Amino acid sequence: MAKVMPAAEPVGELKFGQVGIANLRIKHLDLAALAQELAHKVDTAPQLFRRAPVVLDLSHLPALPPVETVRAVLATIRDAGMLPVGLAYGTSENENLAQSLDLPLFAKFRAAYEPGDAAHAPTPPPESRAPREERRTPPPPSRGTGNAAGQHQSQPVRSGQQIYARGTDLVITAMVGNGAEVIADGSVHVYAPLRGKVIAGAQGDATARIYCQDFQAELVSIAGHYRVFEDIPADLRGKPVQAWLEGEKLHLARLG
């Protein structure tokens, strides 16, 4: 009788998961100016942009550039300290370009290429923008993403770890350490010290909020609007704080 061998454990486990990526939309071709802009971004917020994965979006150019021009753009991104990982999904010509560059296409950015009135086209996840931050009286809390349960994290999130709540809110009842990253498509609630990066509205929801019990964050971002904290204001450090957007402005205020 043939001996039945136990199934070998797979060497690797392949899944489609969350990848926190930036979208670089090229509006016109000027490599020298682009190099300066990207270098300034990295210098201003190195924790956010240094070695950040970047998807290159060419949808706003009047015509798709030749492959050698795009290679030069990719080299400019690398020289700035960021890592280009693919092109935004688009036309068949764009697909051919990606194949020539041996790069993947990212379907989440497809909306930029859809036919019809651009003013009514769906908007891809917003590019990171340097915020204009104010502290003021917060408006009533948002209703969240519609998933009342949300995703819960009861263990500490340590340096180098990333927690992502896809399509819902994220509720954390343990410390978020320096160098950790917590992300949600909805709002983020942290009932413990928050010392890492916190990103709400990861897919562009401008109604998302951030609430924390002990504010010591390295970075706060909502729907692409962000602020990096080198020195946290004394009236916010270690205090219960919430962050929200009003238009293009990122606001922070103490709770209670």
Give the CATH number for residue 160.
2.160.20.70
Spatial distance between the Cα atoms of 70 and 20, rounded to a whole number of angstroms: 23
Which pair of structure tokens corresponds to residue 134? 């104010």
Q: How many helices (H) and strands (E) does the chain have?
A: 4, 16
Spatial distance between the Cα atoms of 44 and 50, rounded to a whole number of angstroms: 10
Per-residue pLDDT tens digits for 161-189: 889 998 999 999 999 999 899 999 999 99
**Where among 120, 150, 184 does a domain terminate?**
120
Per-residue pLDDT tens digits for 33-55: 999 999 988 887 776 788 888 98
Q: Is residue 93 part of a domain?
A: yes
Residue 113 DSSP class: G
Q: Is residue 15 part of a domain?
A: no
Spatial distance between the Cα atoms of 220 and 60, rounded to a whole number of angstroms: 28
Instruction: Using the Cα atoms of residue 105, residue 43, residue 51 and residue 246 in order, give the sign of their dihedral.
Output: negative
Would you say 182 and 204 are in contact if contact means Cβ atoms under 8 Å apart?
Answer: no
Are residue 138 and residue 114 in the same domain, yes or no? no
The amino acid that residue 165 corresponds to is A
Q: Is residue 90 part of a domain?
A: yes
Print the domain residue range for 89.
Answer: 22-120
Q: What is the CATH number of the domain that holds 35?
A: 3.30.70.260
How many separate domains does the chain show?
Answer: 2
Would you say 53 and 21 are in contact if contact means Cβ atoms under 8 Å apart?
Answer: yes
Q: Is residue 1 part of a domain?
A: no
Kindly compute the dihedral angle of the four CA atoms of residues 87, 92, 98, 101, in this order, to the nearest 10 degrees. -150
The packing angle between helices 92-101 and 67-79, to 10°, is 60
Are residue 98 and residue 205 in the same domain, yes or no? no
Degrees, nearest 5: CA angle 159-164-166: 175
Residue 41 DSSP class: H
Are residue 68 and residue 142 in the same domain, yes or no? no
Between 106 and 128, name the one with better pLDDT: 106
Spatial distance between the Cα atoms of 169 and 147, rounded to a whole number of angstroms: 7
Would you say 168 and 147 are in contact if contact means Cβ atoms under 8 Å apart?
Answer: yes
Would you say 196 and 180 are in contact if contact means Cβ atoms under 8 Å apart?
Answer: yes
Q: Where are the alpha helices (DSSP H) in the chain?
A: 31-44, 46-49, 67-79, 92-101
Residue 159 DSSP class: T
**The pLDDT value given to residue 111:** 39
**The pLDDT value given to residue 1:** 57
Residue 110 DSSP class: G
Are residue 136 and residue 248 in the same domain, yes or no? yes
Q: Is residue 9 part of a domain?
A: no
Are residue 225 and residue 153 in the same domain, yes or no? yes
**The pLDDT value given to residue 120:** 35
**The pLDDT value given to residue 126:** 43
Spatial distance between the Cα atoms of 169 and 157, rounded to a whole number of angstroms: 16
**Where among 100, 120, 140 does a domain terminate?**
120
Per-residue pLDDT tens digits for 198-251: 999 988 899 999 999 999 998 898 987 888 887 899 999 999 999 999 988 899
Q: Is residue 34 part of a domain?
A: yes
Are residue 235 and residue 193 in the same domain, yes or no? yes
